[in-house]
């Protein structure tokens, strides 16, 4: 999803049911894409060790040579478009690594890596609502769950299969209907939590759906059955693994749908949104709250909030994680020395009784508005098209 060209580029994903021949062709394509990516990465890694750089054009020439060898002649059996695209993806990965925006690219695993193949306009045909991929005679049987934007023409088509065995086709289009919303002047501070997913500075509390807990018993049973299957028993173990993947997919779908609805509402209702810049990656290292934090999906919430804010002309401000939002009185500014996690309400010396989460949300809002008013102390924490970070406050300890 991009707004760099002034027009939002959105990916529209649909389910489809391939025939046996199409499934076999796509599976071969996924394998070839993974093979080419790993071969190119190995070649570039060897060159990197020699302090040499290999670019996309050189790996493309390598691909041509690989196809002529007897060992890799099977690469000619699939469309060349996804193979070229995976080399472009590898080039983008190295560009991000050299720019210190990402780690060094890793090899793709047959079992753990995402199964996908990307086709450009030369690799697919879209006619009368039917999508046909290169090397295939019949169009895909796609469930068109929603229409594309009027006049939109997909620039790329990505076919993928998830761990649950479901097939998806994603079409990347420019959506001219997504435009900045009229400014309304509303601002809100948001404090995330485990008991309540979100607490707003307005006093509203949004319950945590706890999607994983709803299916925990069923998931545990499926995982126990999987653990009892011998690793050499491919058929039975594969079936058990598939059942576990289906439960995980159902949990993820519910979580994604809920977060999409919630973030869309917040962006439409508010011009400025202040959140806390939490390091979720470090927080889940603590085994006690890790499961609940992962189920709440705070990182996904922030990502959705930021790209939707960029779409609709809103502003998301990330207040530094060391800001004592819970210990600071939002009425008089008095800072409490300690605030254990089991204290949910507290009374300040000024006579104000605070709900811990509501008070934190109000303090986050005040800190965020200070940034928009005077631009004081903007400290970049995370690159995003729609967000910025407020300054680090003078406090010796992190506030949970």
- Token look-up 């960029």 returns 310
Please report the sign of the dihedral spanned by the C-alpha atoms of residue 109, residue 111, residue 114, residue 115: positive
Q: Is 357 a catalytic residue?
A: yes
Say which of 25, 315, 320, 357 is annotated catalytic.
357
Where does the chain have alpha helices with state H?
Answer: 20-49, 56-67, 80-98, 211-214, 216-228, 234-269, 280-283, 287-296, 298-312, 356-374
Q: Is 257 a catalytic residue?
A: no
- Residue 296 and residue 196: Cα distance in Å, rounded? 9
Strand, helix or coil at 342? coil
What are the structure tokens assigned to 290, written together?
């890790």
Say which of 276, 277, 295, 315 is annotated catalytic.
276
Say which of 191, 212, 295, 320 is annotated catalytic.
191
Task: Check residue 151 and give left, alpha or beta (phi > 0: left; psi -120 to 50: alpha).
Answer: left
What are the distances in angstroms from CA 228 to CA 220, 222, 237, 245? 13, 10, 9, 16
Q: Is 355 a catalytic residue?
A: no
- Residue 274 and residue 323: Cα distance in Å, rounded? 13
| Catalytic positions, written as ranges | 191, 276, 357
């Amino acid at each position: 999803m991009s707004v760099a060209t002034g027009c939002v580029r959105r990916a529209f994903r649909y389910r489809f049911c391939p025939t046996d021949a199409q499934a076999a062709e796509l599976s071969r394509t996924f394998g070839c894409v993974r093979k080419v990516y790993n071969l190119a990465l190995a070649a570039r890694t060897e060159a990197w060790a020699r302090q040499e750089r290999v670019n996309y054009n050189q790996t493309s020439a390598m691909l041509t040579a690989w196809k002529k060898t007897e060992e890799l002649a099977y690469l000619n059996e699939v469309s060349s478009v996804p193979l070229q695209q995976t080399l472009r993806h590898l080039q983008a990965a190295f560009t991000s690594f050299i720019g210190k925006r990402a780690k060094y690219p890793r090899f793709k695993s047959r079992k753990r890596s995402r199964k996908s193949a990307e086709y450009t306009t030369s690799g697919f045909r879209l006619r009368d609502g039917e999508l046909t991929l290169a090397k295939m005679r019949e169009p895909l049987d796609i469930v068109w769950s929603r229409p594309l934007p009027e006049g939109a023409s997909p620039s790329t088509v990505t076919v993928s299969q998830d761990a649950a065995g479901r097939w998806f086709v994603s079409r990347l289009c420019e959506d001219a209907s997504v435009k900045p919303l009229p400014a309304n002047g509303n601002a809100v501070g948001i404090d995330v939590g485990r008991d309540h997913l979100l607490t707003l500075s307005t006093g509203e509390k949004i319950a945590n759906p706890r999607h994983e807990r709803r299916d925990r018993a069923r998931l545990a049973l499926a995982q126990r059955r999987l653990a009892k299957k011998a690793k050499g028993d491919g058929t039975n173990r594969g079936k058990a693994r598939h059942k576990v993947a289906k439960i995980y997919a159902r949990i993820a779908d519910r979580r994604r749908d809920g977060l999409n609805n919630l973030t869309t509402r917040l962006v439409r209702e508010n011009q400025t949104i202040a959140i806390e810049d939490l390091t979720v990656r470090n927080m889940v290292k603590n085994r006690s709250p890790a499961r609940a934090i992962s189920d709440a999906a705070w990182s996904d919430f922030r990502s959705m909030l930021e790209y939707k804010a960029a779409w609709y002309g809103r502003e998301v401000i990330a207040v530094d994680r060391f800001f004592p939002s819970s210990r600071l009185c939002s009425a008089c500014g008095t800072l409490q020395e300690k605030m254990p996690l089991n204290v949910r309400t507290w009374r300040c010396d000024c006579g104000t009784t605070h709900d811990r989460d509501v008070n934190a949300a109000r303090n986050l809002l005040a800190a965020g508005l200070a940034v928009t008013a005077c631009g004081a102390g903007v400290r970049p924490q995370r690159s995003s098209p729609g967000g910025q970070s407020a300054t680090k406050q003078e406090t010796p300890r992190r506030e949970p």
